[in-house]
Each structure stands twice: as structure tokens, then as C-alpha cells.
Amino acid sequence: MLCIPSSFKTTILDVHEERGQQWIENIPSTIQKLEEKLSLQVIQTFPNLSYNYVSLARKKNGQEVVLKLGVPCEDLNNEIEALRYFQGDGTVTLLDSDSDYGYLLLEYIKPGKSLAHMENEEKATTIIGQTMKKLWKPVPTQYTFPSIEKWANGLQGLRVHFNGGTGPLPKDLVEKAEDFFPQLIKTISKPLLLHGDLHHDNVLCMGEQQWLAIDPKGVIGEAEYETIAYLRNHLFNKTNPKQILANRVQQLAEELQLDKERIIAWGLSHCILSSWWYFESHGRVPKETMACARWFDELRGSLK
């Protein structure tokens, strides 16, 4: 019998509401149809499901693959298009997909340990930087990917929701994000197609030395913006997380020859935007994200 974690169901319902409920109920029959359609057998559900149902599967020829199911939506379509564009260069290889059906068939990355398992902070930061460089591609001639500007425009809903105020989000940080976003967007000199969510858990080990990214969002932006997901990830399980954040910023700026001030400004702005997104879906503000926003602000102050 297929086991679907209650936490996964809650997340899907928070994001997709009634549509998500119907999708969850249809997962067993969807899997059965895809097993027939793709000539494979689903073997085991992966742990820690978040926004998609992901399982290990085996094709008739014995090849192990990964089946990923998501509620058909713009985000899922962007992921499919991004993987097609990257063509396995620094990312997991897309074997088959159908955005209308809501599935991706992906290569199975072995051993598949994520960068989160690496205890050496400096080495992990170097690896993420190398992975970023592989993924940064020129903007396609034709695309449907969102831009950072489109993402940032979503922050306008915060003021509307709180009748001109900022609710549980600190007013001073919200105002700075509202100021930084248009300044940064206007001064992007080299737009790129970015992964959009490149952090420890989305970079997996293939063999001894090769690291591959999974779950791209696909967003048009600049290199400095790409660093933010990693910078603020897996901080609070470490001693002195504020210093770890500062060290990561410094190392990535040096190794990738990026503008440190822009990294920090993007970091503060994105933390506020991310907190607003989370509030929209879950009705509360994540304390850790707000702490990161404050640390980015303090780092910015230290540059003066």
C-alpha cells in the first residue's frame, strides 16, 4: 500500500488547496497509469517529501530511475524546461516528462548523498560555487521562465494584505527590500538563466567527484542572486551561524569573482520575499529566515 506522509499532504493542501486534495487522492491511480505508460515499476518512496511526490522506480530493462510527480502548474513546467535547457550539464538528466500529466522521469543519482552531509564548510562552499558556474547559461532566445523582477513584484501583495503595513515582518527590513529590489534589478549587467534554488539539499553526489543539481526553479537573474539559497541554508545546525553566513559570502564572492555588496543586498531582499511567500502559504513567518535577513542587514552595515 502506498504511504503518503501527513506532513506532505499538509504542504500540498497549503499551496494548492482543493486542487491539491484531488491530486493527492489520485496519486495511487496516477502511479498505476504511469507504470503502464512508461513500462516501469515504482519501488520505494523517497523520504522527506516536500512539494512533489518522488519515488525510486525500475524500468523493464532493469535501469533504476526516479519518478517525480507534481501538481501541474507553472513551477513544474519551468522545472521541466530548465532541465531540458541544461541538458544534464551540471544537473540531473531528464529522461522523459509531461507537464500536463505532471511527471518527470529522471536519472537516478548514486550514491546520491547531498551536500548537506559534508561537514567541511569551505569545501562545501567551493563545490556549490563550481556547480553554480556550470549551470549559469545565457538567457534562451525564447523562454517562459520568470524573472527575478516578476518574483520581486510578488512582494507588493504584502502591503495590500496588511493594509499598508508589514504585519509580523519588521518594517525596517521590508522597506529596505522594497528599496533594494528595483535598484538591483535595474542594474543587472549580465542576465543569466539560473537554477533559482541551489542549496545543499539540491546538490547530490554522483560517484566520487561529480556533483549534480536537482529541482531547478528556472529564473532569469544574475550570478550574485544565485548564491542566496545556499548562503541561508543549513545555518542553524551550526555553531555561530551568523559568522558562517559571513564566511560563505566572503568565499563565494572571492572564488566566483562576484560583487559582495550585491550578494548581501539580494540576500536581505530575498529573505523578506521568501518570508512573505511562506506567510501566504502557511500563515506564519519563519523565524530563521527573518534572522538571516537581519544578519544580511548587519553585514551590509559592516561594509560601510
Pair (200, 134) in one structural domain: yes
State residue 103's pLDDT score: 97
Same domain? For 279 and 186 the reply is yes
In this structure, the answer to whether residues 84 and 118 fall within a common structural domain is no
Does the structure show a pLDDT above 60 at 70?
yes
Examine the domain organization and report whether 81 and 157 are in the same domain: no
Q: What are the φ and ψ backbone dihedral angles of 96, each rounded to 5 degrees?
A: -165, 155
- The rounded percent of the chain whose pLDDT value lies above 70 is 99
How big is the CA angle at 287 (ends 283 and 293), to the nearest 5 degrees?
110
In this predicted structure, what is the pLDDT of residue 130? 96
More confident residue, 274 or 141: 274
Instruction: Say yes or no: 131 and 265 in one domain.
Output: yes
Grid cell listed for 252 = 563565494
Average pLDDT score over residue span 154-174: 97
One domain, residues 216 and 121: yes
Q: Rounded CA gap, 15 and 10, in Å?
A: 9
pLDDT at position 3, please?
76
- Could you give the number of structural domains in the chain? 2
Residue 218 pLDDT: 96
Residue type at 79 in one-letter notation: E
Q: What is the mean pLDDT of residues 55-84?
A: 95
Same domain, 75 and 36: yes
User: Other C-beta atoms within 10 Å of 289: how many?
Assistant: 18
CATH number for the domain that contains residue 75: 3.30.200.20
Does the predicted model carry a pTM greater than 0.85? yes
Q: Which domain holds residue 20?
A: 6-108
- Which domain-ending residue is among 108, 142, 168? 108
pLDDT, tens digit (0-9, with 9 covering 90-100), for 261-284: 999 999 999 999 999 999 998 899
- According to DSSP, the residues that pair with 212 across neighbouring strands are 204
Handedness of CA 136, 139, 143, 149 (dihedral sign): positive
pLDDT at 208: 73
Instruction: Provide the pLDDT for residue 207.
Output: 79
For residue 2, the model assigns a pLDDT of: 75
My answer on whether 132 and 156 are in the same domain is yes
Question: Are 101 and 26 within 8 A, CB to CB?
Answer: no
Confidence of residue 48 (pLDDT cuts 50, 70, 90): confident
Span 188-219, pLDDT tens digits: 999 999 999 999 999 999 977 899 999 999 99
139 in the same domain as 101: no
Average pLDDT, the chain: 94
Is the previous residue joined to 28 through a cis bond, with omega within 30 degrees of 0?
Answer: no
Are the C-beta atoms of residues 56 and 66 closer than 8 Å to each other? yes
Q: Are residues 162 and 176 both part of a single domain?
A: yes
* 103 in the same domain as 119: no
The verdict on residue 1 lying in a domain is no
For residue 1, the model assigns a pLDDT of 57
